[in-house]
Amino acid sequence: MKQVPVIIFGAGGVGSALLRQIVNGRTHTATRNQIRFDIVATVDSRSCLWNPFGLSDEQILAVVARKVDGELADKSGVSRPSDVEIVTRAAEAGLENGIVVDVTAVSGMEPVLDTALDRGYGLVLANKKAFAGSWSTAQKYFNNPYVRHESTVGGGQPVIATLRYLLDTNDPIFSIAGQLSGTLGFICAQLDTGKPFSQAIAEAKALGYTEPDPREDLGGQDVMRKVMILGRMAGWPLEAADINVESLYAPEMASLSVAEFMNTCNQVDVQIGQRVANAAANGEVLRYVAELTANGGTVGLKAVPQGSPLANLKYVSFHTERYADDKLMICGKGAGVEMTAAGVIGDMIDLVREEF
Ligand SMILES: NC(=O)c1ccc[n+]([C@@H]2O[C@H](COP(=O)([O-])OP(=O)(O)OC[C@H]3O[C@@H](n4cnc5c(N)ncnc54)[C@H](OP(=O)(O)O)[C@@H]3O)[C@@H](O)[C@H]2O)c1
């Protein structure tokens, strides 16, 4: 049995699901993979729980329960060292062949990630931001045997694994396309039924499908990051400026409060409604699509044939030398914290199996 020390940054939706799945899946992971993940640190923005021998399952489940109320550490929680210090502390405690997991949603984790790699740790990330910074800073994370990031794209669907397989078997990638946001897919499906755009946003928000501020979904940056990650994996050193992103709200709405935005987003109902009607007249529906080649790409609303595979709620397609006539397509459910956390665990197991 391999005992693998793990440090988890982020204890929100994905982080909590990950902790729960690690504990509940212990017997399966031990029987099938002969691995035990010892959680030596679980960290949120304000606190850290630390035990170099591994937190007990009772402590881990108590963390998950406390996070529902917003607090990670109880009174026994140590004061919060910096993120980099937490990794350094693990290395100084003699913990080897460990894994650092980034399931935060923040920018600026690079110093932590770089410290982990320098100390010989593997990295598993659901957080896209380090992969989508400038190519000069992000390059080292791509095609790095100590880095896994299946859950950055596709929410647990084997999108990255498939692309890696295509690249490993020398199948050049010509283009990548997809509908990469479950939230925007839901909103587009509501538009299909004739609902106004503002009502579709309000329903998505009420169902918890959007970020607390829906502009984070509607701005398209998250989709841009996902397709950029795939393009960079394919060998294209693209920058954000190479991808033209259509935001679904006007620039002057960026400074409004969330409530003000929700009250005024009906301003674009007529305009979007007209585009929906034009598409329907041609037997098409609107989808929020990302398309990329080595030269750059676009992210935005596009009319696609009704009932075609492209009208599926969520998919990624790879057009390659071998898949020249019929693109290789991955589609299906791929969203939510449980599937994302499962993708992270899959990466952790893969890292141990291949590198440790
Ligand atoms: N949710 C999904 O379905 C999904 C799907 C695919 C990918 N992802 C990606 O997975 C990541 C996590 O998503 P989520 O929904 O779990 O986000 P979330 O609920 O907002 O959780 C983020 C967590 O990160 C913590 N955090 C912030 N700064 C930190 C720091 N410097 N060090 C350690 N922890 C820090 C936060 O702490 P506090 O609790 O103290 O605020 C919070 O616990 C994101 O990058 C997201 O894009 C999510």
2-156+337-355 under CATH 3.40.50.720, yes or no? yes
Q: What is the pLDDT of residue 270?
A: 93
Are residues 182 and 210 in contact, defined by beta-carbon separation less than 8 angstroms? no
173-331 and 2-156+337-355 share a CATH fold: no
What is the pTM assigned to this prediction? Answer: 0.93
Q: What is the pLDDT of residue 355?
A: 87
- Residue bearing the CA closest to ligand 1, atom 6: 155
Distance from the CA of 33 to the center of ligand 1, in angstroms?
27
* Protein fold of 173-331: Dihydrodipicolinate Reductase; domain 2 (3.30.360)
- Give me the chain's average pLDDT, please: 93
Q: What is the pLDDT of residue 67?
A: 82
pLDDT(313) > 70: no
Give how far the C-alpha of residue 165 lies from the chain's centroid of Cα atoms, to the nearest Å: 20
pLDDT(207) > 70: yes
8, 14, 222: residue to mutate for ligand 1 pocket, most atoms within 8 A of CB:
14
Active site residue 226: yes
Confidence of residue 344 (pLDDT cuts 50, 70, 90): very high
Confidence of residue 175 (pLDDT cuts 50, 70, 90): very high
Quick: pLDDT tens for 225-284.
999 999 999 999 999 999 999 999 999 999 999 999 999 999 999 999 999 999 999 999
DSSP letter (8 states) at residue 34: -
pLDDT(334) > 70: no
Q: Which residues line ligand 1 (CB under 6 A)?
A: 9-15, 43-46, 83, 103-106, 126-128, 151, 155, 335-337, 340
DSSP state letters, 43-89: E-SS-EEE-TT---HHHHHHHHHHHHTT----TTPBP---HHHHHHH
Average pLDDT over residues 8-16: 94
Per-residue exposure over 133-151, b if at least 16 CB sit within 10 Å of its own CB, e if not: bebeebeebbeeebbbbbb
Give domain limits for the chain: 2-156+337-355, 173-331
45, 115, 159: residue to mutate for ligand 1 pocket, most atoms within 8 A of CB:
45
Q: Which of 129, 226, 302, 314 is catalytic?
A: 226
Confidence of residue 74 (pLDDT cuts 50, 70, 90): low
pLDDT(126) > 80: yes
